[in-house]
Amino acid sequence: MSDRLEREYELKRVGAAEAMAGIKSGDRVFYGEFTLFPRLCDAALADRRDELTGVNVDSVCFTQMPKVAELDPHGEHFILNDWHFGGISRKLHRMGRCNYIPLTYHQGPRIIRKYQDYNAVVVTTGPMDKRGYFNYGISNSLTPSAIDKAKWVVVEVNPNMPNCLGGNQESIHISRINAVVEGRTDKLVEVPGAKASEVDQAIAGHIMKVIEDGSCLQLGIGALPNVIGNMLAESDLKDLGIHTEMLVDSCVDLYECGKITGAKKVIDKYKMAYTFAMGTSKLYDFLHNNPTCASYPVNYINDPKIIALNPKVIAVNNAVAIDLYSQVCSESAGTRQVSGTGGQLDFIFGAFGSKGGKGIIGLSSTYTDGKGVVHSRINPTLTPGSIVTLPRSMVQYVATEYGMVQLKGKSTVERAEALISIAHPDFRNDLANEAAAMGIG
């Protein structure tokens, strides 16, 4: 490292309190993404709560309870906003303490550059390298665009961050940074895969039938993608590729057993391309300085035109419910926000444009409520207030434990018939009667 870089680093190295001292009432602050929560700066900002009002704090999926919420339970000083909901945001939302920012994920950077200004951006990075760069590590989706619109940029250094190679825009140079905060020694938050059920196994079995040699995969979080990953690892399929919004542990397993080569990809050939990663230490260790993996902002990874350039894209996404018109709700339970649009629309659209591609919505046919009552996830219409994540015109494949149907090119009557055929048998007669009453049966 040059003497000039060392001097610049020392000039910008400050405590968290000093780094956050310039935040004023009415300012807007970006807290980074997912598991890269800026703990020290969050605590320092929360300590100033009595001086501040109307400070907006934005993040991409809060993964731990912010101190600015804990120490301001009535929202008198801070307003929390999330570009994608997880468990913490759901809890805060129920308390009236967190708002959702709707977006089509690949448009996020453009939305920020056109319409959003951040007074401060606080992101967790790895330590500065000998050329003066701080690596964003496992989350690179909206951070570069937020920094482009920031008046004050703070990096909170965590030496446990894996160094994730690009791609592009995976790092920031010290010349673009205003403050460097040290003192983090914590391990990255781990998100183990959910335990699979027999229903997940059955759904995955139907999806496996349409995956071919050379397919390019988008597998997200949850039990279903993990099951598909396990089944792929045990299959005879070869030369699979990865172009995915979220890189998960199952991708590591597939690579290590030789299923992932990327040899049939057209773009990012031989690379596992992604915009953020979330899983266990197995995934984080795999990513560190690994040239097999390429980190990109989300406006590249999730752009449907980019997705469609690779052949045989298989995009698998979950849903909360679907109606007989084939409208998909994946982010709310009635009016209650439970998730975000994320990349579902991006990848379903992109997969359809891919030569031989298939965009798949996978969901269990039923769910059981807190009182033990079983309900169908396939319904005549969506529950009032439900958010349509995927319009019916974009839906291609839908899979439940009872089968998988392809809906493109089908009439409203044919779609209703197809969806009823994969609903739970106990609900099919009622669904057929409702479809007839609505004029689509």
Alpha helices in 188-323 (DSSP H): 198-208, 223-233, 249-256, 281-287, 298-301, 304-307
Q: How far apart are CA 148 and CA 173, in angstroms?
A: 13
In the block, residue with structure tokens 């993404």: 33
d(C-alpha 365, C-alpha 109), whole Å = 35
* Sign of the alpha-carbon dihedral angle for 370, 375, 376, 380: negative
Catalytic, out of 245, 331, 417, 434: 245
C-beta of residue 313 within 8 angstroms of C-beta of residue 396: no
One-letter identity of residue 143? T
Give Cα 339 distance to the centre of its chain: 10
The span from the CA of 76 to the CA of 208, in Å, is 51
* Whether 414 is catalytic: no
Q: How far apart are CA 212 and CA 56, in angstroms?
A: 47
DSSP H helical segments within 298-343, as ranges? 298-301, 304-307
Helices (H) and strands (E) in the chain, counts: 16, 25
- Phi first, then psi, for residue 3 (nearest 5°) are -60, -35
Residue numbers annotated as active site = 245
